[in-house]
């Protein structure tokens, strides 16, 4: 059903008007994993709007290059690299390369992730390993590589992790990602505490649904339109507002913010009561954005 | 009470003196719950009513100390406030009224900047969110 006309929908300013000055990250370099597309690209663009140089990392160099071109259009220096964040040698090599080209990295966005709807009993070992290790090992390896370098230089910095609202609720039909994203959020708090003495802040955004060209949901017939009325906010998220909040946690404006997992989901995860629609077990879902038959 | 036209309600309750539970009278308990919970609810309700009457959205930001390391009275109030924030955030979502809370021991710039963000349209997709600033449990 469409959102009734008399409902008031809060909407963000357009992409061209970021919430911070164009030089808030001047002289700094951010590394964004999975930064070539989707939410990672939104993060990268948001950092670029604040004047950061951007190292874009992707499994596929081609996608990283495509994203890099869009980021460079904002007038910042960009470098694209391929990297499998599950492999420590590749992560270290990517940091070496990025720092050689752009200079010291002081900001990190852990976004790399994989996700697709599947029944728990149908998750193969390979699929489980891919989804959990990209998020958990990837975040661990990139964050520790980042922190070791900053600590050695005596330099502070900031990390932001792309988490998900379903870390608090579970996500039936998505067990691998539910587990992975929750581990990542817990890690956020632990790393924040350990690295606070070094001036390294670590936060995460528990994101709701921000449709983009590479997201699994919303590609069905009817697109994302059917989702709008399911969400208390009356709409799915605009991807640039996710990028902005991510980047903003890394600005000096929020210098006292660390160890936080900030919910940005339009109330989606909080919408629970006996007024919900009938429950349909994942294996019986045919239609809808998270159905798969 | 809320009078006149305003788009944003920021309600701050400063961290109170901590008193051991066995020394806490019922009157003291009531004072803490009144300041930390009841007054917040009544103000937010009046504010939301005004916004609805005006046909416009708005933002509510509750600021206070986290429930950890407080007296039992404040802990109860802060815990209740967290769930009140989540509830109102959803209950008023389609009025375009967002409700968030910031829990903090400090009064520094990060707190102020975060509140300004939550009050702004930049936080249009943030509601029912509880964020801590300057806490010792990061």
- pLDDT, one tens digit per residue, over A86-130 is 999 999 999 999 999 999 999 999 999 998 888 899 999 999 999
Task: Report whether A113 contacts A137 (CB < 8 A).
Answer: no
Task: Report whether B117 contacts A257 (CB < 8 A).
Answer: no
> What local confidence, expressed as pLDDT, does residue A164 receive?
96
> What local confidence, expressed as pLDDT, does residue A146 receive?
98
Q: How many CA atoms lie within 13 A of A263 on its CB side?
A: 26
pLDDT over 80 (residue A215): no
Strand order in the sheet with A78-82: A78-82, A53-58, A29-33, A107-110, A157-164, A200-207, A261-264
User: Is some CB atom of chain A closer than 8 A to the CB atom of B54?
Assistant: no
pLDDT over 70 (residue A57): yes
> What local confidence, expressed as pLDDT, does residue A277 receive?
77
The tokens for A115 are: 């996700």
Say which residues have a Cβ less than 8 Å from residue A267's Cβ, sequence separation at least 6: A231, A232, A233, B89, B90, B93, B127, B128
- Of A7, A12, A254, nearest to B110 by CB-CB distance is A254
Helix, strand, coil share of chain A (percent; to 5): 40, 15, 45
Shortest CA distance from B123: residue in chain A: A12
Angle (CA) A175-A181-A186 rounded to 5° is 125
> What local confidence, expressed as pLDDT, does residue A216 receive?
56
Low-confidence ranges of chain B (pLDDT < 50): 137-138
Pairwise CB contact (< 8 Å): A270 & B128:
yes
Say which residues have a Cβ less than 8 Å from residue A136's Cβ, sequence separation at least 6: A180, A183, A184, A187
pLDDT over 80 (residue A194): yes
Residues of A in contact with B128 (CB under 8 A): 263, 267, 270
Say which residues have a Cβ less than 8 Å from residue B44's Cβ, sequence separation at least 6: B9, B11, B60, B62, B88, B99
What average pLDDT does range A61-78 have in this prediction? Answer: 98
- State which H helix or E strand residue A241 sits in: helix A239-249
Average pLDDT, chain A: 93
Shortest CA distance from B138: residue in chain A: A259
pLDDT over 70 (residue A180): yes
Residues A61 and A56: their CA atoms lie apart, in Å, by 9
Lowest pLDDT segment from A32-46, A53-67, A106-120, A187-201: A106-120
User: Is some CB atom of chain A closer than 8 A to the CB atom of B33?
Assistant: no
- Of B90, B110, B113, nearest to A271 by CB-CB distance is B90
Instruction: Please tell me which residue, A209 or A213, carries the higher pLDDT value.
Output: A209
Angle (CA) A48-A53-A59 rounded to 5° is 90
Residues of chain A contacting B, Cβ within 8 Å: 3, 7-13, 19, 189, 192-193, 196, 208, 232-234, 237-238, 241-242, 244-245, 248, 253-260, 262-267, 270-271
Which residue, chain included where needed, has tokens 């608090």? A168
Quickly state the pLDDT bin for A219 (edges 50, 70, 90). Answer: very low
Pairwise CB contact (< 8 Å): B90 & A259:
no
> What local confidence, expressed as pLDDT, does residue A218 receive?
46
Active site residue A166: yes
Which of A20, A166, A198, A279 is catalytic? The answer is A166
Helix, strand, coil share of chain B (percent; to 5): 50, 15, 35
Residues A112 and A120: their CA atoms lie apart, in Å, by 22
Pairwise CB contact (< 8 Å): B126 & A19:
no
pLDDT, tens digit, 9 for 90 and up, residues A71-86: 999 999 999 999 999 9
Angle (CA) A262-A18-A216 rounded to 5° is 55
3-state secondary structure of A34: coil
Instruction: Give the gap in angstroms from C-alpha A97 to the nearest C-alpha of chain B.
Output: 32
Pairwise CB contact (< 8 Å): A193 & B131:
no
Angle (CA) A209-A214-A187 rounded to 5° is 60
């Amino acid at each position: 059903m469409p959102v009734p006309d008399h409902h008031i929908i809060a909407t963000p300013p357009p992409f061209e008007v970021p919430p911070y000055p164009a030089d808030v990250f001047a002289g700094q370099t951010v590394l964004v994993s999975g930064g070539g597309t989707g939410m990672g690209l939104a993060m990268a663009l948001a950092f670029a709007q604040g004047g950061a140089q951007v190292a874009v990392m992707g499994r596929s160099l081609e996608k990283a290059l495509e994203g890099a071109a869009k980021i460079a259009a904002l007038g910042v220096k960009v470098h694209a690299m391929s990297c499998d964040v599950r492999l420590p040698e590749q992560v270290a090599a990517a940091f070496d390369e990025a720092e050689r080209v752009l200079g010291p990295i002081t900001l990190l966005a852990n976004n790399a992730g994989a996700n697709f709807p599947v029944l728990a009993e149908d998750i193969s070992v390979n699929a489980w390993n891919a989804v959990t290790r990209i998020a958990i090992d990837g975040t661990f390896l990139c964050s520790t590589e980042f922190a070791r370098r900053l600590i050695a230089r005596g330099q502070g910095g900031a990390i932001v992790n792309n988490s998900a609202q379903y870390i608090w609720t579970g996500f039936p039909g998505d067990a691998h990602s539910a587990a992975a994203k929750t581990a990542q959020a817990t890690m956020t708090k632990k790393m924040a505490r350990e690295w606070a003495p070094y001036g390294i802040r670590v936060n995460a955004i528990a994101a709701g649904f921000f449709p983009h060209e590479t997201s699994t949901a919303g590609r069905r017939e009817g697109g994302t339109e059917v989702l709008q009325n399911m969400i208390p906010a009356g709409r799915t998220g605009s991807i640039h507002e996710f990028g902005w909040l991510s980047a903003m946690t890394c600005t000096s404006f929020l210098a006292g913010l660390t160890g936080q997992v900030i919910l940005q989901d339009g109330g989606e995860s909080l919408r629970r009561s006996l007024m919900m629609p009938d429950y349909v077990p994942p294996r019986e879902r045919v239609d809808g954005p998270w159905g798969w038959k | 009470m809320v009078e006149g036209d305003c788009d944003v309600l920021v309600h701050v309750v400063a961290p109170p003196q901590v008193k051991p539970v066995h020394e806490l009278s019922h009157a003291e308990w009531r004072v803490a719950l009144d300041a930390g919970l009841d007054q917040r609810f009544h103000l937010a309700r009046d504010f939301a009513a005004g916004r609805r009457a005006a046909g416009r959205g708005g933002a509510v930001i509750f600021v206070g100390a986290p429930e950890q390391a407080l007296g039992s009275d404040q802990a109860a109030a802060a815990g209740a406030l967290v769930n009140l924030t989540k509830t109102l955030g959803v209950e008023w979502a389609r009025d375009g009224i967002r409700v968030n809370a910031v829990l903090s021991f400090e009064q520094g710039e990060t707190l102020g900047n975060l509140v300004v963000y939550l009050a702004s349209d930049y936080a249009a997709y943030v509601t029912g969110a509880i964020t801590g600033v300057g806490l010792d449990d990061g």
